[in-house]
Amino acid sequence: MRSLAKNKGYMTLMGAQAISSIGDWLSIVAIITLVGLKWNASPIQVSAVILCLAVPMALLGPVAGIVADRFSRKTIMIISDVVRAGLILVLTIASSLWMVYATLFTIGIFSAVFIPAKNGKLKEVVGENDMKGAMSITSMIDSTTKILGPLISGVLVAAFGSQQVFIIDSATFVVSAVLLLFLPNAVNIEHTEESEQTQESFKQEFAMGLSFIKSSRFMIVGLLMMGVSLLILQSADTQLIVLIRELTNPSPDLFGYLVTGSGAGMFLAGVMLAKKTDYRAYPLMLMGVCGIGLSFGIMGALTYYDLSYSIIWAPALGFTAGFSASLIFVPFQATVQVDTPVNMTGRVFGVINSVMTTATIIGPLLGGWMATVLGVIPTFIITAGMLVLVSLIGYFTRRKVDRGNSHGSTHERRTSAATTG
């Protein structure tokens, strides 16, 4: 922790992340509130909001990862921030759902390039011994902004209107870009024979990243678990605003409070994982999947009975869901960061992000369809049961995954280090 605090490159990267993340939550809550409550959008239309951000990441994830490995990650991030700052301003004049969708889709394209570049840059500036702590702190920043963003957004929207929120979000991207200017240039890049083969096709580089992932049983099973869990999770998660409408006289701010509770849970989990970095990732991931399932199942049941004091129990269940989510994402991503050579980080995370965002594409569509056909409460009950089932399957197959960990990625990482050292 102390070594990370003295790492200027890491602190600069985290500062930029914190500022832009607050802006992201300002606009996301404003958009969901606008579309879900003020425009009274259907379940499918609400799902499409998330879908527009997810589709570009799924389609461009592998290509974006290769770009992040080939070119300056610092430059890629700065360009992405500046362009997104301009695109966010378009939302200030949005008068229809289709205008919102088109803008979000374009923003998603540049976000797809930014994410693997940021993960690669993190690997450049942080040593292996500090990586688990760094990923936990990154999660804490995300969850903190998830708490502050909705609260600030609610105040700003009530006081000035959604247009002002989008302008502020645009400004956060500009500030983030300025901070990124102070990042060090590429360091600790491993110059292998592969990096010198400039004529290598994108297809070949994608295959190399995929091959590296396949060399680790933990990465394969972990990615499969995350993909399936995200698919089920997004089926229900994108319908939260619709579930809230099932309550009698729901508070207009209830969605924001629920998201804030989720952020608080993620923050607490991040603190715990940052203090204790010698954890085993796979058991924590299983606990997280089960915890999200139970949280969503109880939330659906309490909504069915229209239980009073939703202003208390909804954020509380959001808290447990957020805590559980961190138990999935932080250990998995930290382990992948540790096991992946710096010169392959973009490709590996490009493939991972592509798989994960494909799940987030199918999930909202599935959730919108289920909520329309079956009803939103049955949707939450069914998805909760499926998440618990996934965790049970993972539990009974855990020994096979543990046996595979002694080979795979760890062996590959050491081999790479030996050939490049």
Tens of pLDDT along the chain (421 residues) come to: 566 777 888 888 888 888 877 777 777 767 776 676 667 777 777 767 777 877 887 777 777 778 877 788 889 989 999 998 898 888 878 778 888 888 888 888 888 888 888 878 888 888 777 777 787 777 777 767 766 766 677 677 667 766 777 888 888 889 999 999 988 876 544 444 444 444 456 666 667 777 777 777 788 888 888 888 878 877 877 788 888 888 887 777 787 788 778 878 888 888 888 777 778 888 889 999 999 999 999 999 999 998 888 889 999 998 999 899 888 888 888 888 777 777 777 778 777 777 777 887 788 778 888 888 888 899 899 989 989 998 998 888 877 766 555 444 444 444 333 333 3
Residue 315 lies in a domain: yes
**pTM of the predicted model over 0.85:** no
Residue 138 lies in a domain: yes
Residue 189 lies in a domain: no
Burial class (CB in 10 A: 0-12, 13-18, 19+), 158: exposed
The CATH number given to whatever domain includes residue 413 is 1.20.1250.20
What total number of domains does the chain contain?
1
Range of the domain at 294: 2-179+203-420
Nearest to 53 by CA among 119, 98, 106, 89: 106
Integer Cα distance of 57 and 69 in angstroms: 17
Chain centroid to CA 414: 28
Residue 184 lies in a domain: no
Integer Cα distance of 274 and 82 in angstroms: 32
Residue 13 lies in a domain: yes
Residue 400 lies in a domain: yes
339, 413 in Cβ contact below 8 A? yes
